[in-house]
Amino acid sequence: QLQLQESGPGLVRPSETLSLTCTVSGGPIRSSSYYWGWIRQPPGKGLEWIGVLYYTGNTYYNPSLKSRVTISIDTSKNQFSLRLSSVTAADTSVYYCARHDGSGSYGYWGQGILVTVSS
Amino acid sequence: QSALTQPASVSGSPGQSITISCTETSSDVGDYYYVSWYQQHPGKAPKLMIFDVSNRPSGVSNRFSGSKSGSTASLTISGLQAEDEADYYCSSYTSSSTFFGGGTKLTVL
């Protein structure tokens, strides 16, 4: 059974960079069938797509976040990562990693990690 | 403002059927062929309920069904149960982006 698990600091200071890692178990991240993505959800609000990456390193980002986002992959560790720079309080959210299949749906999700931006 | 518009809330009694709509309001959404639906209980990660407009993943109850007509996709839940009370999100996929609707809170009366 495929499992995804987010990890990283739960508190980030304003203007700094948020860094999270998603560890994938139960299947290879180096797969031609899937993309790997990040989605976030501010407290009490809806889902916001951040971006996805293919195992080759190709990435697609939400245009509204593109200037601040980097998603990368480490196939040797079966992990992929999110970096979001110059964070503000508006970036406070639960961040989810998820597997994106060919039809654009996300069938497997991590449990989510709350990241708070505060001084 | 989301490119996919959902009603903020819907409600129904146990045993009844309800339908949640998801209307494309932006050309950025693309051809709107790849529509998915997610169920989210409080404090939990979203769960995929429908993909490719009308397909159910393995393990999802056949009480959940999806359809699309023009620019509006719909999720129908039949035989409503208390456990169906949750937030529901539609999403649409293009070759380079994913869009989510604003979400609909389903209350089982």
**Is the distance from CB of A73 to CB of A80 less than 8 angstroms?**
yes
Q: What confidence tier does B32 reach under pLDDT thresholds 50, 70, 90?
A: low
What is residue B70's predicted lDDT score, i.e. its pLDDT? 86
Residue type, A58: N
Contact B34 A105 (CB under 8 A): yes
Average pLDDT, whole number, for chain B?
Answer: 92
Average pLDDT over residues B11-35: 85
Q: How far apart are the first and last CA of chain A?
A: 39
What is residue A102's predicted lDDT score, i.e. its pLDDT? 74
Instruction: Select from A52, A100, A109 the Cβ nearest to the Cβ of B46.
Output: A109
Contact A46 B102 (CB under 8 A): yes
Hey, what are B91's tokens? Answer: 């999403």
Task: Say how many C-beta atoms besides its own lie within 10 A of residue A113's C-beta.
Answer: 20
What is residue B57's predicted lDDT score, i.e. its pLDDT? 95
Give the residue among A73, A97, A102 at the shortest CA–CA distance from A2: A97
Residues of chain B positioned with their CB less than 8 A from the CB of A105: 34, 36, 48, 51-52, 91, 93
Average pLDDT for consecutive 10-residue bins of chain A (119 residues)?
97 98 95 93 97 91 96 95 98 97 90 98
CA distance B34 to chain A (A): 6
Assess A1–B contact: CB distance below 8 Å, yes or no: no
Instruction: Select from A39, A105, A111 the Cβ nearest to the Cβ of B51.
Output: A105
What is residue B29's predicted lDDT score, i.e. its pLDDT? 57
Give the residue among B108, B87, B78 at the shortest CA–CA distance from B7: B87
pLDDT surpassing 70 at residue B31: no
> In whole angstroms, how large is the CA radius of gyration of chain B?
13
Q: What is the pLDDT of residues B58-80, one digit of tens each?
A: 999 999 999 999 889 999 999 99
Average pLDDT over residues B22-49: 86
pLDDT surpassing 60 at residue B23: yes
